[in-house]
């Protein structure tokens, strides 16, 4: 019988926690500034991508759904970075 606990899902969960630690670490270590802004925004959307692809199972989803999600994960952080660093 296959196990309920899945190594990939656990790895994604761990990666999400590490990513949170990275952005908090950069925020605390570097303080305000363009580097912190870019790291915080990039890390947040990498996390979203991980949640979508693995937890929401978009890696098995039809291409249209995957592309809409991928577009969101690229377009929104770019817009945010442009506004934040303007």
**Which residues contribute to the site for another protein (CB under 8 A)?**
1-2, 4-6, 9-10, 12-13, 16-17, 20, 23-24, 26-27, 32, 36-37, 40-41, 43-45, 47-48, 51-52, 54-58, 60-63, 65, 68-69, 72, 76, 79-80, 83-86
The minimum distance between CB 68 and another protein, in angstroms, equals 6
For tokens 């908090």, what's the residue?
24
For residue 71, what is the enclosing H or E element? helix 63-85
Crossing angle (nearest 10°) for helices 7-30 and 34-50: 170
The minimum distance between CB 18 and another protein, in angstroms, equals 11
Question: How many angstroms from the chain centroid is the CA of residue 86?
Answer: 23
The minimum distance between CB 73 and another protein, in angstroms, equals 10
CA nearest 23: which of 67, 50, 15?
Answer: 15
């Amino acid at each position: 019988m296959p196990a309920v606990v899945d190594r990939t899902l656990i790895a994604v969960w761990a990666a999400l926690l590490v990513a949170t630690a990275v952005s908090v670490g950069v925020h605390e270590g570097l303080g305000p500034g363009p580097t912190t802004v870019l790291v915080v925004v990039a890390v947040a959307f990498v996390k979203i991508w991980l949640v979508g692809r693995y937890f929401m199972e978009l890696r098995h989803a039809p291409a249209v759904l995957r592309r809409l999600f991928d577009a969101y994960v690229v377009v929104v952080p770019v817009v945010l970075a442009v506004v934040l660093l303007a």
